[in-house]
Amino acid sequence: MRYLSITLLALVAVFTLTSAKKDTQKLIREKPDMEAIRAAVSDPNSKMYYPKLYKQFKASDTTMTLDQMRHLYLGYIYQEDYNPYRQSQYSSRVEELYMRDKHTHAECDTIIHYAEKSLDDDPFDLRQMSFLIYAYREKKKNNMAAIMLWKLNHLLQAIISTGTGLDPENAWVVNNPQHEYNLLNFQDYIVESQKDVPPYYDYITVKPSGDKDEPKGFYFNILYLLEQYNKKFPDSL
Residue 2's pLDDT band, with cuts at 50, 70 and 90, is very low
Q: Which residue type, as a one-letter code, is found at position 133?
A: I
Whole-number mean pLDDT of the chain?
Answer: 88
Q: Which residues contact 167 (CB under 8 A, 6 or more apart)?
A: 219
pTM score, two decimals? 0.89
pLDDT digits (tens, 9 = 90+) for 60-83: 999 999 999 999 999 999 999 999
DSSP 25: G
Specify the pLDDT at position 98: 78
With a pLDDT cut of 70, the percent of the chain lying above it is 89
- The confidence score (pLDDT) of residue 12 equals 44
Residue 203 has pLDDT above 90, yes or no: yes
For residues 3 and 11, give the distance between their C-alpha atoms in angstroms, rounded to a whole number: 11
